[in-house]
Amino acid sequence: MKNRLILSHFFYLTSILSLLFCFGCGDTEDEQEATSPTNNTFLDTPDEQSLQPAEQQRWLTEEDRKKLKDAEKWVHLTVEDWVNLKDKDWEKLKGKDWIRLTNKEVREFMNLEIPKRWVAEEKDEALREKFSIAGRFQKLGDIPQVRYDVEFRRNSRKMAGKDGFILVTPEFAKYLVADRAATYFLVPTEAHRRLLEDQIKQLKSIVAQEERRFLEQLRIEDPEAWLTRMQTLLIDKHGDIPEVDTVVNFLRKLELNLPRTDEECFAYIRVYSALYIVDSKTASIYESYAWMEASHQFRPIIGDPPKQTGNLEKYRAARAAGISFYNIKWGDD
């Protein structure tokens, strides 16, 4: 399943409206000398990927996956951690093509004379935008959260298509979480806290989905590299224990179509049960499939007929056809 969630500019309207009561607000382009940015759409690899056919964008590359590590790093923070980010951390939450405010611009905002009744009387949208931004800087000072909020809004408008919609990629989801954190810091209401929490959940979901895509493509293209990656993930999850070696060795025999002894099947079932005795849903889809294969081979020996035979056959058919396990259709079961 491709991550192609679409989000309108309306997605941050709630936050902007709440800031209006404190600072005043306009939602148009600020007059600036900066040139138009590149189309920063997906992990800072814009133009080339945006021109590729859809089928070529199906999987992440190894380089893309490394860049996703940045999002993984930030997504594990709590709401409190996000609100208390250090000044230097905010720069890490911007893309390399991000249009940044200059110190000169900020000084102009800090010194701009703002009419008292501009919210009600000013009709020029460019001036309304300037007064809104200037009001934030003059009230709160030149702090990273204010800069981020202003820059995020500018860059979001640049990233939006003609219809006003934005493609939510892992990179953009990271920006959105950071903006929610900035908004909550500036206006710490319960509504803004919930918006931040919801956005963190979305980012977690997107990062997990991209990890699954990466693993599936790696398994199809380079099983040995996939096994190495799986071993690393399992060690991170369970520690460097012998049970991880048992799992990886069994997965290797499955992926390389090597014969498996009954003893190896029994050992895998025993280890699988020990690792996931509390909640089998925490096992990866590959480990669950391996458990079915091990059970299918071993259980007839002791007279216990294999269970979930229909599911096992679907996994086997998907493997034979080169279909992702995550794309198996279970609706007819």
Domain ranges across the chain: 6-215, 222-327
166 vs 9: CA distance, rounded Å:
7
Q: Where are the alpha helices (DSSP H) in the chain?
A: 13-23, 46-50, 62-75, 79-83, 87-92, 103-111, 118-121, 125-140, 144-159, 170-186, 190-221, 223-238, 242-255, 262-275, 285-298, 309-321
Confidence of residue 307 (pLDDT cuts 50, 70, 90): low
Most confident of 137-141, 284-288, 310-314, 326-330: 137-141
Region 241-246 average pLDDT: 94
pLDDT reported for residue 63:
67
Instruction: Report how far residue 292's alpha carbon sits from residue 307's, in angstroms, rounded to the nearest whole number.
Output: 8
Q: Which residue has the tokens 């190495």?
A: 228
- The answer to whether 129 touches 88, Cβ cutoff 8 Å, is no
Rounded Cα distance, 189 and 331, in Å: 43
What value does the mean pLDDT of the chain take? 77
Highest mean pLDDT among 20-29, 205-214, 229-238, 276-285: 229-238
How many other CB atoms are found less than 10 A from the CB of residue 238? 13
In the chain, % of residues over pLDDT 90? 34
